[in-house]
């Protein structure tokens, strides 16, 4: 039976919301009181009425009209920061849509509750994203104390205990100013603990993954944190490590039996989704899924693997520090390819290239290589998840 939940989260007036797992530091190119409102993933919009001469503007039209093309594009970037000053500069100068807190980020940004001052510099609610899975992928373990890995969690805790653990960690993250967690990892894997996925996977049994990932996502969501399922369409059985080179997943028909099961069951439960850098035979035609229109369409429609449609935020995995991407693409090319494929948030690890990326994207929109309508759709999706749109 499909697990479904009604999402009941408050919309933040000013939202601070920071994924990919496993990177330790950026590779060559992963105070005022915090806000008390929670982040929001709003319900799907109601069908729009037929247009008339006096019809109200369509959903998001007024928001889009208030933004330049460059500002719209900036809303689709989620970029790693070294600390408060770096984050402030990127937000103030380019109004980027999100910042990513990595293992290299100065911990004082969190410990001193400095994220709200960064969010205050943003015209729109700011996403503040983080990798906090527990175990070896933790960015706040030294600050808040460790949580067990997903595998240890499933082996030693009940589903209800897992929910309570995620709820507590989510509340702690929210207090620090974080509003998006790139967790839970829903990869289905029997890899050794220290493999690229390994103990980041709850289990080699997809139904166990569904039960525990659902509990973890509910805990985060109930704490006001947007959970992000990863790494679509499934890294658990893939060959290799996308941090160090190209990775090939099993063919799509095999993924449907195991790796895609957690997405089939959980994708409509008020979550976002991260695309992995996975070449999937029979789906991506040699491209990493993170920049593949076919992979995004599979997720969005659900028809290719028996899932409901997905209209939430789609993130890429890191585009600047993982060789599955960087061996072939410059960051400007990777971001353009991801957005054109249908992704809503392009993630990478350093603010240094933000101006160059935006220059490139502006040119791509001007030439039609990146359709303006695609950009506007992504801005609406992101704004809705941030609570900046209620339609």
Please, which residues bridge with residue 295 across strands? none
Burial 141-179 (b: 16+ CB within 10 A, else e): eeebeebbbbbebbeebeeeebbebbbebbbbbbbbbbb
Active site residues: 243, 317
Q: Which pair of tokens denotes residue 194?
A: 């220290």
- Report the distance separating Cα 292 and Cα 290, nearest Å: 6
**Alpha carbon 61 to chain centroid, angstroms:** 24
Give the dihedral of Cα atoms 96, 100, 106, 109; nearest 10 deg: 70
- Report the distance separating Cα 98 and Cα 91, nearest Å: 8
Q: Which residues contact 262 (CB under 8 A, 6 or more apart)?
A: 186, 188, 206, 209, 210, 213, 229
Q: Which secondary structure element, helix H or strand E, spans residue 383, and what is its range?
A: helix 372-386
Residue 349: name the closest of 163, 105, 113 by CA. Answer: 105
- Report the distance separating Cα 2 and Cα 8, nearest Å: 19
Compute the C-alpha angle 351/246/30, nearest 5°.
Answer: 25
**SS3 assignment, position 33:** coil
**SS3 assignment, position 371:** coil
Which residue do the tokens 């806000």 mark?
35
């Amino acid at each position: 039976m499909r697990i479904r939940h009604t999402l009941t989260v408050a919309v933040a007036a000013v939202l601070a919301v920071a994924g990919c797992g496993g990177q330790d530091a950026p590779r060559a190119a992963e105070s005022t009181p915090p806000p008390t409102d929670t982040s929001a993933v709003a319900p799907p919009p109601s069908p729009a009425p037929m247009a008339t001469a006096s019809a109200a503007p369509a959903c998001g039209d007024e928001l889009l009209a208030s933004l330049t093309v460059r500002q719209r594009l900036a809303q689709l970037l989620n970029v790693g920061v070294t600390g408060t000053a770096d984050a402030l500069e990127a937000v103030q100068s380019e109004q980027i849509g999100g910042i990513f807190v990595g293992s290299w980020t100065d911990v004082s940004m969190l410990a001193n509750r400095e994220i709200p001052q960064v969010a205050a510099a943003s015209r729109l609610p700011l996403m503040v994203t983080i990798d906090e899975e527990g175990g070896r992928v933790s960015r706040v373990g030294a600050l808040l104390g460790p949580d067990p890995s997903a595998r240890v969690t499933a082996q030693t805790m009940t589903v209800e205990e897992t929910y309570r653990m995620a709820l507590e960690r989510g509340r702690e993250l929210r207090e620090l100013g974080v509003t998006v967690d790139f967790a839970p990892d829903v990869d289905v894997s029997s890899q050794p603990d220290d493999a690229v996925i390994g103990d980041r996977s709850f289990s080699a049994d997809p139904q166990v993954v569904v039960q525990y990932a659902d509990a973890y996502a509910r805990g985060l969501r109930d704490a006001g944190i947007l959970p992000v399922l990863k790494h679509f369409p499934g890294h658990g059985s893939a060959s290799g490590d996308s941090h160090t080179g190209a990775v090939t997943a099993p063919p799509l028909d095999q993924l449907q039996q195991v790796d895609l099961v957690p997405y089939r069951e959980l994708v409509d439960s008020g979550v976002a989704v991260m695309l992995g850098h996975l070449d999937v035979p029979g789906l991506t035609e040699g491209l990493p899924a993170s920049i593949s229109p076919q992979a995004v369409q599979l997720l969005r429609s659900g028809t290719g693997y028996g899932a409901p449609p997905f209209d939430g935020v789609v993130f890429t995995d890191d585009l600047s520090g993982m060789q599955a991407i960087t061996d072939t693409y410059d960051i400007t090319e990777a971001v353009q390819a991801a957005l054109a494929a249908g992704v809503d948030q392009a993630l990478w690890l350093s603010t240094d290239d933000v101006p160059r990326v935006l220059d490139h994207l502006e040119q791509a929109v001007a030439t039609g290589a990146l359709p303006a309508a695609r950009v506007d759709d992504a801005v609406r999706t992101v704004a809705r998840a941030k609570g900046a749109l209620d339609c």
